[in-house]
Amino acid sequence: RGKRAFIAGVADDNGYGWAIAKALAAAGAEILVGTWVPALNIFETSLRRGKFDESRKLPDGSLMDIVKVYPLDAVYDSPDDVPEDVKSNKRYAGSSNWTVKEVVESVKNDFGSIDILVHSLANGPEVTKPLLETSRRGYLTAISASSYSYVSLLQHFLPIMNPGGASISLTYIASERAIPGYGGGMSSAKAALESDTRVLAFEAGRKGKIRVNTISAGPLGSRAAKAIGFIEKMIEYSYVNAPLQKEQLADEVGNTAAFLVSSLASAITGSIVYVDNGLNTMGIAI
């Protein structure tokens, strides 16, 4: 049978998660997605009404089939962690079993196991603020939503991942180099994610024969990136300064993800793989 993938962080057809889902589907994988609870309704409605049909097209002409959409809020591990105001919030009360532990239980009940785990989500409420103006709460929320969410997902999914499987996340160069504008502790969150990639690769490798890598992606005008506010400038900067002066497509990240989780990458784990037209290699560009 084909491989089964769970992709956390798909809520429209613009982001990296969607492109990764498509690349995995094109390679024959069965696609399950985890969608942030507040975005679930509109995503499912749009899917049902065919709004994504054009972008569901795979190279062979068929449409990507998303076998199941799970509501997910990756900042909560189990129901005990959910504050009252969130529980009673209309958008959350309309769905159930969306904490990490419950989602994994649902996937286990529905399908038994998975082969591939993709983490394509981030959130930093103060991302537009410089680090010098970031509150403790904003910083910790960025880490919780963007870094620990990955630790938690892998922790809970590992027991139902088939040996030989693989996991990836998405990171950004602001973890290693100062990128003014990527604030609110998001640069710190990506640094944590990259460090955790190495430690989790060791632990999940030894414990479950699972490989763990992260893709450091170039700028893409996704919904999340538009909320940061400077994405058009970053795309332009990359175009002007990168070794490859071309637009960087989400599909290029999707294809790399498909390679990294496939047996073609069977000796690659704990790595940061750059998919950014080479921008990370530059010191100054003239």
The minimum distance between CB 61 and ligand NAD, in angstroms, equals 25
Q: Other C-beta atoms within 10 Å of 153: how many?
A: 26
Asked about 92 being catalytic, the answer comes back as no
Q: What are the tokens at 150?
A: 């990955």
Q: Report CA Rg, the chain.
A: 18
d(CA 142, CA 14): 22
For the beta sheet containing 272-275, the strands, ordered from the edge strand earlier in sequence to the opposite edge, are: 66-72, 30-36, 4-8, 114-119, 161-171, 211-217, 272-275
The minimum distance between CB 209 and ligand NAD, in angstroms, equals 25
Residues 78-117 touching ligand NAD, rule: CB under 6 A, are none
Give the burial class of 188: count Cβ atoms within 10 A of its Cβ; 0-12 exposed, 13-18 middle, 19 or more buried: buried
Candidate residues 64, 74, 154, 201; the one interacting with ligand NAD per rule CB under 6 A: 74
Angle at Cα 163 formed by Cα 161 and Cα 168, nearest 5°?
60
Task: Exactly one of 70, 76, 148, 182 is catalytic; name it.
Answer: 182
Candidate residues 25, 33, 122, 153; the one interacting with ligand NAD per rule CB under 6 A: 122
Asked about 16 being catalytic, the answer comes back as no
* 3-state SS, residue 240: helix
Is 233 among the residues that bind ligand NAD (CB under 6 A)? Answer: no
Is 33 among the residues that bind ligand NAD (CB under 6 A)? Answer: no
The minimum distance between CB 1 and ligand NAD, in angstroms, equals 28
β-pair type (211-217, 114-119): unpaired
Cβ-based nearer residue to ligand NAD, 125 or 162:
125
Cβ-based nearer residue to ligand NAD, 10 or 273:
10
Residues 134-153 touching ligand NAD, rule: CB under 6 A, are 145
Is 170 among the residues that bind ligand NAD (CB under 6 A)? Answer: yes
Is 36 among the residues that bind ligand NAD (CB under 6 A)? Answer: yes
Cβ-based nearer residue to ligand NAD, 266 or 281:
281
Of 175, 176, 158, residue with least CA distance to 167? 158
Q: Which residues does the annotation mark as catalytic?
A: 172, 182
Q: Under the rule (CB under 6 A), what is the footprint of ligand NAD?
A: 9-11, 14-17, 36, 39, 72-75, 120-123, 145, 170-172, 217, 219-220, 222-225
